[in-house]
Structure 1
Amino acid sequence: MYVVLLTYTAPLQEIDYALPDHVEWLAKQYEHEYLLASGRREAHLGEVLLARPMPRGKLDAVLASDPLALANLAHHEVIDFVVTRTAAQLRELNESITH
């Protein structure tokens, strides 16, 4: 599984202009079941994405297609981790993505 820290690298006015395309891109990633969760970081620094396990090259290709990345408005930092424990509410999800 991956945690992706998306950091804006441009003024918020430029980010706001590109957000509709980014939101559409996010929707497509959910349709493909690549993303499990996403949300805005505090103080509008960027976003956090939770991506399901996949080959790292595939994830890199998906992130490279983000309109914010294509326009050089954001940087993606990828943190790879293995889920070994979850809250009871997430146990079924954890079992479905690790087996």
Structure 2
Amino acid sequence: MLILSLTYKKSLEEADRFMDEHLAWLQHGYERGWFLASGRKVPRTGGVILATGDRAEIEAFAATDPFVTNGIADCEVTETLLTTAAPGFEILKS
């Protein structure tokens, strides 16, 4: 399991300018089967994506996020080895 943590470096107004492009990028991640869930941090300082797959491929894809390429956010990738999950969430386990 990979956790992608996006942290805004610019204002929410700047982030909103690129939101449609970012959402299209997210959709590609879901279509490729990499992304399992995503959403905004609260308070809204960035976002989080739960992903599965080859780390190098996902890191390379993360570098193409419009938020990253336009200097809106940094993306930190954390790999986890989940061994326990609630019923119905077994896909999260490594």
Which of structure 1's runs of 4+ aligned residues deviate more than 2 A? none
**Residue in 2 aligned with 1:57?**
56
Q: CA deviation at 1:28?
A: 0.9
Point out the structure with the larger helix share: 1
Tell me which structure has the larger Cα radius of gyration: 1
Aligned-residue CA RMSD (Å): 1.2
Q: CA deviation at 1:49?
A: 0.4
Equivalence map 1:1-99=2 (5 Å): 1-54=1-54, 56-91=55-90, 93-94=91-92, 98=94
Query: What TM-score results when the alignment is normalised by the length of structure 2?
Result: 0.93
Query: What TM-score results when the alignment is normalised by the length of structure 1?
Result: 0.89
Q: CA deviation at 1:94?
A: 4.1
Q: Per-residue displacement from partner, 1:16-65 (whole Å, max 9, x unpaired)?
A: 001000001001110011101000000210001001031x2211111001
Secondary structure at 2:43's aligned position in 1? helix
Q: Runs of 5+ in structure 2 lacking a partner?
A: none
Q: Runs of 5+ in structure 1 lacking a partner?
A: none
The one-letter code sitting in structure 2 at the alignment partner of 1:50 is L
Secondary structure at 2:74's aligned position in 1? strand
Q: CA deviation at 1:83?
A: 1.4
Structure 2 vs 1, CA of residues 90 and 71 (structure 1 numbering), >3 Å: closer, same or farther? Answer: same
